[in-house]
């Protein structure tokens, strides 16, 4: 057995906790989870069945934690987890699962399947079975500080542009600000509108905020690839930045997995609680709106819908906030049939979008979103995750669909009374 396989197996072993034991001994293999998974429904390939993706961990559990497995071991008829198994499951888990967590909502036995799939990822990553692209972005995130290789210089250049554009100062490294905002590289590179929207809204509402030059990147490739050590290193950087600037709160950007990484898993990655609070930008905006600190004018009239980013809504509980906000400046907001916590994923979460190899299956999975959109006949999709936004843009283009897609924060900024709104 190779050393990396041994390490991978040990990692997998360490993932078997009482919950996993409960989940595995509960699963009756009914197959209901398959119908919740867009990779299955759009390909009809039974190997995409969510619980099937957990097979490596299940196999290990069966051999080392169950009576029959131990008995077989004593009799010398084990069927150990092999390199081949890990290689096979690498494609299933990284290319064929967006960690959207829909399966975990529907399992009648209450099994949190996507949580187990993440545990499988940690084992695969440790054994060296992860997609090349993801491994590279993870390396870049560790070395450079951003999965896309965005350095502070690039951010400063964008900020300069934005400041000229909106005539507002964007605070950097301001100590003891109430809020330290984080960004995702995608926002910096593709959607700088988000940064200008933040500046306008916070200026409008009088929020004391700052960016941190040493910790502006919110995304966490460690989480996507399943490397908890790297995830911890990346979270530590943010914690160090926030502690250095002595801020009270850290704002998670719209980006979905960043929210999971910094808000929910972060303290566990580093093994201790934070000295500050983490809020998602939509939570903060909703709070500002509720307390009357946002004066909005004008209503969007086009027919629009909201795409729920899985990590923020289904796995993050921010369900009512985007809807409250949208209703305050839109007239024709319609919901997809399955929305909120039962929304269908765009198909590109969980690192799938950063994984070139998964491109064909990702586009196939997008058909689910396409049919949801076809039912609605909307002009605009609003969302609050730059990754969803990129995936949907790509999907719309591939399917020749003429629909706009915008971020919720920037759309709201356009309706500020003294903003640059129309």
Partner 1 sequence: MKFLSIFALLLFVATPLAGFAAEDDKVHQGIFVENPGTDLWRDVRQRNFAMEGSSQVKSVDSNILINPQGDEWARFRVGVLVRFASITLVIITGLLLLHYVTGGRMKIEGGRSGRVLLRFSDFERVAHWTLAIIFLFLAITGLMLLFGRPVLIPLFGHELFSLLASASKEGHNLIGPIFLVSLVLVLVRFVTRNIYASGDLNWLLKGGGLFGRSHVSSGFFNLGEKAWYWILILAGLVISVSGVILVMPNFGQGREIMEMSHKVHSIAAIVLIAVSMGHIYLATAGTEGTLEGMKTGYVDLKWAETHHDQWAQECQDKNLTISSEEFARLQGKAVDKSSTVAKEQG
Partner 2 sequence: MGSIIDGSLWYFSLTVFVIGVVWNLVRIVFGKRKADFSIPRDSAVAGALRTLISRFIPDRHMLPRISLQVVAGYMFHLGLFVLLFFAAPHVRFLDEHILGFGWSPAPHWLFIVSAQFAFLGLIMLWLHRVINVVSRLISDRGDHIAAILTFVVMLTGCLALLETFNELRLLHRLSVELWLIYFPFSRLMHAFTFVPSRMFTGAWFGRRGVGS
Binding site for partner 1 (CB under 8 A): 44-47, 55, 59, 62, 67-69, 71-72, 77, 79, 84-85, 87-88
Binding at 109: pick from partner 2, partner 1, none (beta carbon under 5-8 Å per type): partner 2
Binding at 273: pick from partner 2, partner 1, none (beta carbon under 5-8 Å per type): partner 2
Helix axes 386-398, 359-376, angle to 10 degrees: 80
Binding at 79: pick from partner 2, partner 1, none (beta carbon under 5-8 Å per type): partner 1
299 forms part of the interface with partner 2 (CB under 8 A): no
Residue 35 or 377 with smaller CB distance to partner 2: 35
28 forms part of the interface with partner 2 (CB under 8 A): yes
Residue 35 or 356 with smaller CB distance to partner 1: 35
19 forms part of the interface with partner 2 (CB under 8 A): yes
Among 78, 317, 376, 379, binds partner 2 (CB under 8 A): 317
Give the Cα separation of 136 and 354 in Å (integer): 10
Q: How far is the CB of 159 from partner 2 (least distance, A)?
A: 30
Residue 235 or 416 with smaller CB distance to partner 2: 235
179 forms part of the interface with partner 2 (CB under 8 A): no
Q: How far is the CB of 276 from partner 2 (least distance, A)?
A: 10
Residue 161 or 277 with smaller CB distance to partner 2: 277
Residue 238 Cα to chain centre, angstroms: 17
Contacting partner 2 within 98-117 (CB under 8 A): 104-112, 115
Give the Cα separation of 115 and 227 in Å (integer): 14
What is the binding site for partner 2 (CB under 8 A)? 17-19, 21-23, 25-32, 34-36, 40, 46-47, 49, 51-52, 66-68, 104-112, 115, 263-268, 271-274, 277-278, 313-319, 337-338, 341-342
């Amino acid at each position: 057995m190779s050393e990396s396989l041994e390490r991978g197996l040990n990692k997998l072993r360490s993932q078997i906790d009482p919950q996993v034991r409960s989940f595995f001994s509960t699963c009756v293999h009914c197959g209901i989870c398959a119908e919740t998974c867009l990779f299955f429904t759009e390909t009809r390939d039974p190997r995409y069945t969510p619980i099937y993706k957990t097979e490596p961990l299940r196999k290990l559990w069966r051999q080392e934690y169950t009576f029959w497995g131990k008995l077989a071991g004593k009799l010398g008829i084990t069927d150990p987890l092999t390199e081949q198994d890990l290689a096979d499951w690498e494609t299933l888990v990284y290319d064929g699962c967006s960690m959207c967590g829909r399966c975990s909502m529907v399992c009648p036995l209450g099994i949190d399947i996507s949580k187990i799939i993440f545990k499988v990822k940690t084992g695969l990553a440790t054994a060296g079975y992860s997609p090349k692209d993801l491994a590279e972005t993870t390396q870049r995130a560790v070395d450079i500080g951003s999965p896309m290789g965005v350095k502070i210089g690039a951010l400063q250049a964008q900020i300069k542009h934005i400041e000229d554009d909106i005539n507002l100062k964007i605070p950097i490294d301001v100590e003891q600000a109430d809020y330290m905002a984080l960004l995702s590289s995608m926002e910096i590179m593709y959607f700088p509108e988000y940064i200008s929207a933040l500046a306008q809204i916070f200026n409008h509402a009088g929020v004391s905020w700052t960016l941190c030059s040493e910790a502006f990147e919110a995304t966490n490739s460690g989480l996507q690839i399943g490397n908890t050590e790297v995830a911890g290193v990346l979270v530590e950087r943010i914690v160090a930045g926030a502690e250095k600037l002595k801020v009270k709160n850290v704002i998670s950007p719209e980006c979905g997995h960043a929210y999971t990484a910094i808000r929910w898993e972060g303290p566990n990655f580093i093994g201790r609680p934070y000295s500050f609070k983490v809020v998602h930008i939509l939570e903060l905006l909703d709070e500002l709106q509720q307390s009357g600190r946002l004066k909005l004018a004008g209503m969007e009239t086009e027919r629009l819908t909201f795409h729920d980013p899985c990590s923020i809504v289904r796995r993050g509980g921010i369900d009512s906030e985007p809807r409250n906000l949208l209703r305050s400046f839109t007239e024709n907001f319609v919901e997809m049939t399955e929305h909120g916590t039962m929304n269908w994923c765009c198909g590109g979460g969980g690192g799938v979008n950063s994984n070139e190899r998964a491109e064909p299956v990702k586009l196939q999975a997008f058909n689910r979103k396409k049919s949801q959109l076809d039912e609605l006949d909307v002009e605009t999709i609003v969302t609050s995750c730059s990754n969803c936004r990129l995936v949907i843009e790509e999907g719309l283009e591939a399917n020749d669909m003429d629909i706009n897609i915008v971020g919720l924060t920037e759309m709201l900024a356009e309706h500020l009374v003294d903003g640059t709104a129309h």
